[in-house]
C-alpha cells in the first residue's frame, strides 16, 4: 500500500498538490526499464547525446518562466532567485552538450618500463550503468541538471529522485527531457517512500549514487551502498574573510548576496564572516545599513530579496540557534524577527566560537560577524568544523591568498568573491564532511564513468 504526500507553498501555505509515493513494485519496474535503457544508449552516439542536450537547453529556455514560478511556489525562494537558477540550469545543459563531444582517453606505450612488451594500451571512458540521482529542495532544477546532464552525456541511464516538495517542477523537467529526445527508458523520475530508499541504494541494478543533501542522509547512503560509486555533494560552513585592503562595498555585496539570498539555504552560503579590525566598524555599518533595506516577504514579487525558509520547522531550528548564540553572549546588530516561516536577515556579533552557529551548518539568513587582528589566528577557527566546502577572501595581497589557499580545509578558495562562487565548468566539491568526488560538468562526467583499457 502506498501513501500520499502534500506539497504546500511555504509562504502562503496554499496546497499546491497531493501526490502518491512510488510503491516498491513501481520503483522496481522503473529500475528494470532503465536497465534496458543501457542498451538503447549504445545506439545513441556522443554527437547525438550532445544534440539532445542542446535541444533540452532550448526547451528549458522556452519554459523558463513557468519553471521559475513553480520553483518559487514550491520552495519559497524569490522569483528573481528562481530566474537565476533557470539561467544556470540552461547553462548546465549547454555545458553537458559540449562536454559530451569531448570525452576522450589516451594511448600508452607499454615499452615505457622494461622489459619491452610491444603493446599499446588504448584507454577509454565508459558509462557506469544506471545512476541514482538524488536532489534537495533548494535548487531543484539547477542541481538536477548538474546530475542528469553529465550522467546522460557520459552514456548512463538515470533514476531521478527529487525532493518531494519539488514534484511538479521535477516532473516538468523530465517531460522536457523526454521531449528533447532522451528516451523514457533512459530517464525516469521516482519519489519512493523513505523506508524504501536503503533498498533502492543497494539495488543490484543501481550502479552509482549521485546525491546532494545533508550529512545524515549521506551517511545512510554510504552505509548501504557497499562498493557502488558515490558522488556526494554535502553541506558547508563556509567563511568569508575581509582583509584591510579588500574592496569593502564589493565584500558587503557578496556577503548579502551569498548569505541572505535564497533565505540563506545554500550549501555555499557565506555562513561566517571574519572581518579585520582595521575595517570592521566601517564594514559593519555598511553591511547593517544595506541589509536592513532588503525587502522581506512575498517571494513572487520581483523586488523581494528574502522569502520564507522551506517550512516552519526549519524556521524554528534557525530561531533556536540564534537564541542559543544570544544566551552565550552574542549581540544582535540586525534582525532576530520572525513571521511564520519568514526569518528576517539577522546579523550577530560577539558569537562564541563553540556555538552551533559557528561550528554547524545553519540553513537560514543569519550571519555571525567576527573581528580578527591576524589572519593566522582565524585559520584554526575556520577549520574547526566538520565541513570544508568553499571559502572566500577579499584582499589584494597575493601572499594572503596563497597562505589561505594552503591552510584552509576547503575544496575551493575564491579571491575577491564569496564562497558562493560557482560556475558550470569549474570543479565543485569539498573535503571532510562536505562530500566525496567533484561536480562541475566535465568532472561529473568522469565521476559517472569508469576507465576501460584495450591492450593491442
Cα(385)–Cα(234) distance, integer angstroms: 14
Gyration radius of the chain over CA positions: 23
Q: Residue 330: which region, alpha, beta or left (left: phi > 0; alpha: psi -120 to 50)?
A: beta
Give catalytic residue positions: 233
Cα(441)–Cα(438) distance, integer angstroms: 9
Print burial letters for 81-116: b (CB count within 10 Å at least 16), e (below 16). bbbbbbebbbbbbbbbbbbbeebeeeeeeeeeeeee
- Please choose, from the candidates 452, 450, 441, the residue with its C-alpha nearest in 3D space to the C-alpha of residue 152: 441
β-strand pairing of 342-343 with 338-339: antiparallel
Q: Are 389 and 430 in contact (CB under 8 A)?
A: yes
Q: Are 334 and 345 in contact (CB under 8 A)?
A: yes
Residues in the chain: 456
Cα(141)–Cα(171) distance, integer angstroms: 10
Name every residue whose Cβ is closer than 8 Å to that of residue 103 and which is 6 or more positions away in sequence. Answer: 46, 125, 153, 154, 445, 449
Amino acid at each position: 500500500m502506498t501513501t500520499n504526500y502534500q506539497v504546500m507553498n511555504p509562504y502562503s501555505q496554499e496546497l499546491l498538490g497531493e501526490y502518491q509515493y512510488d510503491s516498491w513494485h513501481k520503483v522496481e519496474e522503473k529500475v528494470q526499464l532503465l536497465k534496458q535503457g543501457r542498451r538503447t544508449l549504445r545506439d545513441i552516439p556522443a554527437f547525438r547525446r550532445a544534440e539532445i542536450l542542446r535541444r533540452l537547453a532550448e526547451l528549458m529556455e522556452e519554459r523558463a518562466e513557468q519553471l521559475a514560478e513553480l520553483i518559487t511556489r514550491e520552495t519559497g525562494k524569490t522569483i528573481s532567485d528562481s530566474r537565476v537558477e533557470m539561467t544556470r540550469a540552461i547553462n548546465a545543459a549547454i555545458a553537458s552538450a559540449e562536454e559530451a563531444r569531448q570525452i576522450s582517453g589516451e594511448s600508452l606505450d607499454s615499452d615505457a618500463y622494461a622489459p619491452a612488451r610491444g603493446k599499446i594500451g588504448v584507454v577509454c571512458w565508459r558509462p557506469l550503468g544506471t545512476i541514482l540521482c538524488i536532489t534537495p529542495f533548494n535548487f531543484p532544477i539547477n542541481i538536477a541538471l548538474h546530475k542528469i546532464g553529465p550522467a546522460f552525456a557520459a552514456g548512463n541511464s538515470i533514476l531521478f529522485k527529487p525532493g518531494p516538495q519539488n514534484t511538479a517542477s521535477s516532473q516538468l523537467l523530465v517531460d522536457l527531457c523526454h521531449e528533447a529526445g532522451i528516451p523514457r527508458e533512459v530517464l525516469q523520475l521516482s519519489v519512493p517512500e523513505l523506508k524504501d530508499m536503503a533498498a533502492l541504494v543497494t539495488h543490484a541494478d543501481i550502479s552509482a549514487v549521485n546525491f546532494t543533501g545533508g550529512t545524515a542522509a549521506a551517511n545512510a547512503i554510504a552505509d548501504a551502498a557497499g562498493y557502488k560509486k558515490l558522488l556526494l555533494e554535502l553541506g558547508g560552513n563556509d567563511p568569508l574573510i575581509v582583509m584591510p585592503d579588500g574592496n569593502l562595498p564589493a565584500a558587503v555585496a557578496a556577503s548579502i548576496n551569498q548569505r541572505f539570498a535564497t533565505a540563506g539555504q545554500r550549501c555555499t552560503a557565506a555562513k561566517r564572516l571574519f572581518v579585520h579590525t582595521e575595517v570592521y566598524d566601517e564594514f559593519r555599518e555598511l553591511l547593517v545599513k544595506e541589509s536592513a533595506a532588503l525587502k522581506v516577504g512575498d517571494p513572487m514579487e520581483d523586488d523581494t530579496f528574502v522569502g520564507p525558509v522551506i517550512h516552519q520547522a526549519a524556521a524554528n531550528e534557525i530561531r533556536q540557534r540564534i537564541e542559543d548564540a544570544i544566551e552565550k553572549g552574542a549581540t544582535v546588530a540586525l534582525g532576530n524577527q520572525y513571521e511564520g516561516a519568514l526569518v528576517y536577515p539577522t546579523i550577530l556579533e560577539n558569537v562564541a566560537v563553540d556555538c552551533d552557529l559557528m561550528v554547524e551548518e545553519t540553513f537560514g539568513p543569519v550571519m555571525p560577524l567576527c573581528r580578527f587582528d591576524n589572519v593566522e589566528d582565524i585559520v584554526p577557527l575556520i577549520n574547526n568544523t566538520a565541513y570544508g566546502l568553499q571559502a572566500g577572501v577579499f584582499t589584494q595581497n597575493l601572499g594572503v591568498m596563497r597562505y589561505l589557499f594552503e591552510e584552509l580545509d576547503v575544496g575551493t578558495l575564491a579571491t575577491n568573491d564569496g564562497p558562493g562562487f560557482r560556475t558550470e565548468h569549474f570543479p565543485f566539491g569539498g573535503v571532510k564532511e562536505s562530500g566525496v568526488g567533484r561536480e562541475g560538468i566535465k568532472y561529473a562526467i568522469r565521476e559517472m564513468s569508469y576507465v576501460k583499457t584495450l591492450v593491442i
